[in-house]
Amino acid sequence: MRKLIAVLALSFASLPALAEEVVLGLSSDTVSINTNFDGSEILIFGAVKRDAPVPAEPPLQVIVTVAGPSETKTVRRKEKRFGIWINTDAVEIDSAPSFYAVSTSAPLNEALSFTEDVRHRISIPRAIRSVGAPASIADSETFTQALIRIKSKANQYQLNEDTVSVDEDTLFRTAIALPAALTEGDYRTRIFLTRGGNVVSQYETSIYVRKVGMERWLFTLSREQSFFYGLLSLAIAVAAGWGASAVFSLLRR
């Protein structure tokens, strides 16, 4: 797997008395997708700057989230009728990240309170916005749960609990795996410091995922020159069919 190491450097800026704060920066803020791209890994690490001794209780926790560009999704329910499976109800998810990962230094329900989750929209269900379900569908939440299951199975939604290492309440590090199927765009990256489930500091930056080389050329051609893209696809299909036919003819001789 190709690795992109996003080194998070710490900054010792002036901080309020008794405050805990993390200030981070990315040494590399891009992931390049080409024809050989099979995924990547982001390594995130940093430190906490404080002007007072480390509080004894409650312990410091770190939460890291990485969110891909949001998109609208239509989730359909299938039911078996007259021996065949057909689409019945459908719910449109207004906004769902194409990729979303949450990494924590403790179980999420210990590191983050319900109120803070609602406020900052950190957990996977909170990161998804669905408000336009038809009134005829009473169980609209099951459609959101279905989307989470599908995305989680494809490794596009991740809950990585106990994967952020925190040393002496000061240094932390984690790694987040990006799958091969990535949507191009800005990936919003947030880091939260929490104590007793409450957010005491947060930092936000972004990583840009972009296509390069042949991937970029084909993507641009399909969007800006759809007619020629269609001709090219047809030509490739004809060439592949002719080539396969020629090989089978030689094998039969």
Question: Tokens 């005829």 label which residue?
Answer: 136
d(CA 82, CA 18): 68
Angle, in degrees to the nearest 10, between helices 226-252 and 213-224: 120
d(CA 51, CA 6): 27
Q: Which residues pair with 49 in a beta bridge?
A: 21
Q: Using a cut of 0.75, tell me whether the model's pTM lies above it.
A: no
Q: Residue 23 in contact with residue 10, Cβ under 8 Å?
A: yes
Provide mean pLDDT across the span 240-249: 65
Provide mean pLDDT across the span 110-130: 93
- Nearest residue to 204 (alpha-carbon basis) of 44, 39, 55: 44
Give the confidence band of 18 by pLDDT, cuts at 50, 70, 90: very low
Query: Which class for 200: exposed (0-12), middle (13-18), buried (19 or more C-beta within 10 A)?
Result: middle
